[in-house]
Chains A and B, each alone.
Chain A
Amino acid sequence: MRTEELVSLLARATEAVDPRWLARRYLIALSAGTAIATLLMSEWLGVRPTLLRDLSVPMFWAKEAFCAALGAAGLLAVARLARPGRRPGWVPIGVAAPVVAMWLLAAVALLTADPRDRSVLIFGQTAGVCPFRIALISTPLFVGIFWAIRGLAPTRLRLAGAAGGFAAGSLGALVYSLHCPELAAPFLGIWYVLGIAIPTAVGAWAGPRLLRW
């Protein structure tokens, strides 16, 4: 087939592209992923009984804002890296800012605490399980977000995969936070970040394998 023939073939009877297609795909991926992740969290671990009381604790909102800000940065990164020719832009800053802010809070908490209390601030009661639970709960979101990216055309597969994993991990952490009893900034700055790092690393590994087109 000559190139002119291919051009004619492709151009003939083209359908208009629905501009809402993209938003719809993300919406399906995120709502299904979040719903399954939430179900997983509530069936497996249960929503924390003190949740209503925690609503008046400022640190609870700091924790939610931390996860939500990371999730938003991750989704913006995905939106950019999932299509050809968009640069990461200020995405690294959006990812780093909440982490740095949490680390500052952690430093203040550790410096002002009684030295004997510091290990509790760092390890809480669930340090050993927290990162793995976050990684597990983020799995449905990971699948959904990768499915959405596969419908697009990422050209930097490792970065796009890492961004997808990061977004899934952050949103997974947000879901997990409704179970997790920990509210200390040092704990969140270490174990939550580690929990999000797991799907990010998996995403960076899986990107070149699953996202090729």
Chain B
Amino acid sequence: MVEARLRGLLLGGLAGDSSAYHAFLKDLSAHLRAFLRKRLVNLPEEVEDLVQELLLAVHNQRHTYDPRQPITAWVYAIARYKLVDLLRRRSRKESLNDPLDEEDDLLATSDGEAAEARRDLAKLLADLPERQRAPIIHMKIEGLSVAETARLTGMSQSAVKVGVHRGLKALAAKIRSES
């Protein structure tokens, strides 16, 4: 049932229906959070960061969803890939670090509902080049249209679209390289 509902929402989103797509991402983030909480019992502070990283990945790779394929399989493969990636990065970092901060785990086990992401995407967004940052701010945060954004920035309409697309990809790449 969840499968059919999410699939319908995503297909709507792929066809350009923003509200279906919004519902899809919202539902998905709840599922991802539950999935990751179970698997990152020892790293609860990473959960919300990874939820956000996964949402960005799902969005950037949404063109790779094959409608004949169960959505669970597609999302799970992405989640697993990013989870393994995170654990690999951490183990590399930890092998360099002093392992004494283990007791921090003790305090971190109380896991409130409204976990905050530690990574600030807004800050990463601010670091993007202007041609990517401005279209994202105007269109995706202020809700302006392509035409309005183009007029405001002096960019062409296709450059605005490309800027949004590349900017979100660059954001995902920044997350990967900073952690």
Binding site for B on A (CB under 8 A): 1-4, 6-19, 21-22, 82-86, 152-153, 155, 213
B103-135 CB contact bits vs A (8 Å, 1 = yes)?
Answer: 000000000000011001110010000000000
Overall SS of chain A's interface: loop
Closest chain-B Cβ to A121's Cβ sits at a distance in Å of 44
| A12 adjacent to B69 (CB under 8 Å) | no
Closest chain-A Cβ to B67's Cβ sits at a distance in Å of 9
| B74 adjacent to A84 (CB under 8 Å) | yes
Given contacts A11-B13, A12-B18, A14-B13, A3 and B61 within 8 Å (CB-CB): no
Which one of B24, B25, B61 lies within 8 Å of A84 (CB-CB)? B61
| A7 adjacent to B26 (CB under 8 Å) | yes
| A84 adjacent to B78 (CB under 8 Å) | yes
Q: B100 an interface residue at 8 Å Cβ cutoff?
A: no
Number of residues on chain B facing chain A (CB within 8 A): 51
18 pairs, CB–CB < 8 Å, chain A vs chain B: A6-B121, A7-B29, A10-B56, A10-B140, A11-B13, A11-B22, A12-B18, A13-B143, A16-B16, A17-B14, A83-B65, A83-B74, A84-B74, A85-B74, A86-B66, A153-B64, A155-B78, A213-B172
A83 to B161, CA, bound (A): 24
Closest chain-B Cβ to A85's Cβ sits at a distance in Å of 4
Q: Chain A residues near B121 (CB, 8 Å)? A: 1, 6
Q: Chain A residues near B1 (CB, 8 Å)? A: none
A152 to B74, CA, bound (A): 13
| B25 adjacent to A10 (CB under 8 Å) | yes
A71 to B69, CA, bound (A): 24
Binding site for A on B (CB under 8 A): 13-16, 18-19, 21-22, 24-26, 29, 48, 51-52, 55-57, 59, 61-66, 69-70, 73-78, 80-81, 116-117, 120-122, 125, 136, 139-141, 143, 145-146, 161, 168, 172
A74 to B14, CA, bound (A): 28
Q: Chain B residues near A2 (CB, 8 Å)? A: 116-117
Given A9-B141, A84-B61, 9 more A-B residue pairs with CB atoms under 8 Å apart are A6-B56, A7-B25, A15-B161, A16-B16, A19-B14, A84-B78, A84-B81, A85-B70, A86-B66
Q: Chain A residues near B139 (CB, 8 Å)? A: 12-13
A147 to B161, CA, bound (A): 22
A17 to B74, CA, bound (A): 17
Q: Chain B residues near A9 (CB, 8 Å)? A: 136, 140-141
A82 to B65, CA, bound (A): 11
